[in-house]
A and B are shown apart, each in its own frame.
Chain A
Amino acid sequence: MKIVVCVKQVPDSAARVVVEHGEVTWGDAPLVINPWDEYAVEGALRLVDEQGGEVIALSMGNEQAKEALKHALAMGCKEAILVSDPQLQGVDSLGTARVLAAAVQKIGGVDLVVFGRQAIDGDAGVTAAMTARLLGFPALTLAAGVRGVSSDRIVVERAIEEGRQVVEGALPAVLSFTKDIGEPRYPSFMGIRKASRAEIPIWSLDELGLPAPQPHTSWPAVLNPPAREITTEMITGATPQEIAEKLVDKILAEKVL
């Protein structure tokens, strides 16, 4: 199988992200591969471990995003490609999906395009479905696991609010994986060495035959959330029963039940 896995570089999940002078900053917190995309890489690698084939990691971003791709290479991806172009500044989700879809087409002969659940910076969770629609591939999003693959079909268990939905789709297809797929493997020593030496090609919009994106959406302001006025009241008492009674009275007085 030829699998493309889309990975984004984001600020570490533990970073203190704030708005200063209208700009989003995360101090000196590191940029890392989007944690959901590590599951996507893991899911893709497991498929080729079983089925044979190769995984190509694809990212759109600036030069620094090569680090996220190197992480994917160190985990076991065969190749990595970065799409980078100054004209991509301010691109929205649909623009991103157009770029990823065009890159998948340029790579050619792809059986599966794999995504993470969502990027933890923008928390949008729409790129996989958009890319599927653009490519005309079936969208099998939020796959908790793969039941089986044949030469022209794949069966996945989707995690939906109500439980699991087992869906069969024609290949080539777009998949996004949830955490249920299993813990992402650690990069091996050999993998890290290989990744550090890898030459990662950079594709421009021109090379993809795409015009500069015209975003449909804009974000006029980003704000720090209003500080919540929380006065924490500690409940104490001589016995657990006394504490519990007091706490229950306090909660009932809030009239949320």
Chain B
Amino acid sequence: MSNKVWVYIDLFHSEPLITSWEVLGAGLSLADSLGGGVTAVVFGKDVAEVSRQAFGYGANQVFLADDPALDDYRPEPYTSLLARLAKEHQPEVFLFPTTTRGRELAAMCAVDLDTGVLPDVTELEVKDGLVQATRPIYGGKLLSKVVCHSKPQIITCRVRAFPRPAFDPQAGGEPVNVQPELTSESQKTRVVEYIGTSGGVSLSDAGVIVSGGRGLSNNPNLEPPAEITDEKEREIWKAQQGFKLLGELAEVLGGAVGASRAAVDAGYIPYQHQVGQTGKVVSPDLYVAVGISGAIQHLAGMRTSKIIVAINKDPDAPIFKLARFGVVGDAYEIVPALVEAFRKKLGK
């Protein structure tokens, strides 16, 4: 017997993403209403440990495909395998984390299973036996209630939107082993290599984000090295000193560094750091916006942060409207003092 509620556990290099457990927690709440427990689905290589963790976080069944051929995630073989399992066991709800892989797999499984997808939802409830989800649309300017009328109801859950359940080290169980039975379609794509895939707190799951904007280039007291003569290069150099300060603040707080599009476009910091409508959508517990005016496209990426702190020279900057705490002041004076104060108070 399998459960009505399934959760796909997203991994990278055999390590589960924390958000996978958040989604497992969301599945457990749905199972409370729908009956039964939660089945976790784990694919990868050398991932028996992940199966143990899934039991610990509350799954009462794990489908485990542990095979060298599944080492690198590729959407085609993973979709075929997932769809095969779902056809066989007929879950009613299939949850995925809204990660690059989760969103893509959910979309492709929906094709194979001829059903719909509710992508990137932030709330779930059960109504008349169906899941009714809530998802932000138009960059969070509106909220849409959404329902999928076919089974399984495929849903991807936004990172950090659901609490991670408590881990029970005593919980255990035997996974159901699944043979991957890969077909020739798995040859369609091949992973060549990974670049820069290590470490650091990723923006999407950071609990604290310190973001900088164009304002960071504005420090008349900084003098770039004489060999940098190009005006544009001098501006970039200045802003980078500002981002170094933000990096220190992020480090004290165990967080990540974000940026506005203006800062990215000006070359102060790479695009991976961009928050906003055409960057990442984040929802940390604490978001510190430094030298960011608060354009609507930036707000689209961070408006659901729990506590927003704005530091800006201009008392009329729109970012203050969204902020819980505001400081009208110069980033280069306030940020170093903040780093000091946090170090002192947090005992670091």
Question: Chain A residues in contact with chain B, CB under 8 A?
Answer: 11, 13-14, 16-19, 24, 35-36, 92-94, 97, 120-130, 132-134, 138-142, 155, 157-170, 178-180, 215-225, 228, 230-236, 239-241, 243-245, 247-252, 254, 256-257
Contact = CB atoms under 8 A, between A and B. Distances in A.
A244 B117 contact: no
A179 B273 CA distance: 12
Contacts of B346: 257
Listed residue (A36, A92, A142, A256) with the most chain B CB atoms within 10 angstroms of its CB: A256
Interface stretch (B26-34, B87-95, B146-154): B146-154
Given A160-B100, A166-B192, A254-B324, A97 B143 contact: no
B240 interface: no
B111 A225 contact: no
Contacts of B17: 161
Listed residue (A14, A97, A138, A155) with the most chain B CB atoms within 10 angstroms of its CB: A138
B142 A17 contact: yes
A37 B79 CA distance: 26
B126 interface: no
B325 A244 contact: no
A224 B142 CA distance: 5
Given A24-B142, A163-B195, A240-B336, 11 more contacts: A93-B107, A93-B117, A139-B108, A142-B100, A158-B100, A162-B197, A169-B188, A234-B326, A244-B337, A247-B325, A247-B338
A212 to B, nearest CB: 16
A234 B119 CA distance: 37
Contact of A97 (B100, B111, B202): B111
Q: Is chain B's interface secondary structure helix, strand, loop, or mixed overall?
A: mixed
A103 B75 CA distance: 23
Interface stretch (B48-56, B170-178, B224-232, B327-335): B327-335
B111 A230 contact: no
Given A155-B192, A225-B140, A243-B327, A248 B116 contact: no
Interface in B287-327: 295-297, 300, 306-307, 309, 320-327
B329 A216 contact: no
Contact of B195 (A157, A161, A234): A157
14 contacts: A14-B295, A121-B138, A126-B103, A126-B104, A126-B119, A129-B103, A164-B196, A165-B195, A179-B279, A216-B150, A220-B132, A225-B143, A230-B321, A256-B207
A129 B296 contact: no
Contact of B325 (A128, A180, A222, A233): A233
Q: Is chain A's interface secondary structure helix, strand, loop, or mixed overall?
A: mixed
A132 B149 CA distance: 23
Contact of A94 (B110, B296, B345): B110
Given A14-B297, A216-B116, A19 B142 contact: yes
A227 to B, nearest CB: 12
A152 to B, nearest CB: 11
Listed residue (A165, A231, A245) with the most chain B CB atoms within 10 angstroms of its CB: A165
A91 to B, nearest CB: 11
Contacts of A157: 195
B198 to A, nearest CB: 7
Contacts of A215: 116
A16 B142 CA distance: 10
A167 B191 contact: yes
Nearest to B148: A217
Contacts of B208: 257
Smallest CB-CB A-B distances: 6 pairs: A216-B116, A163-B197, A244-B337, A217-B116, A126-B107, A129-B107
Contacts of B104: 126, 129, 139, 141
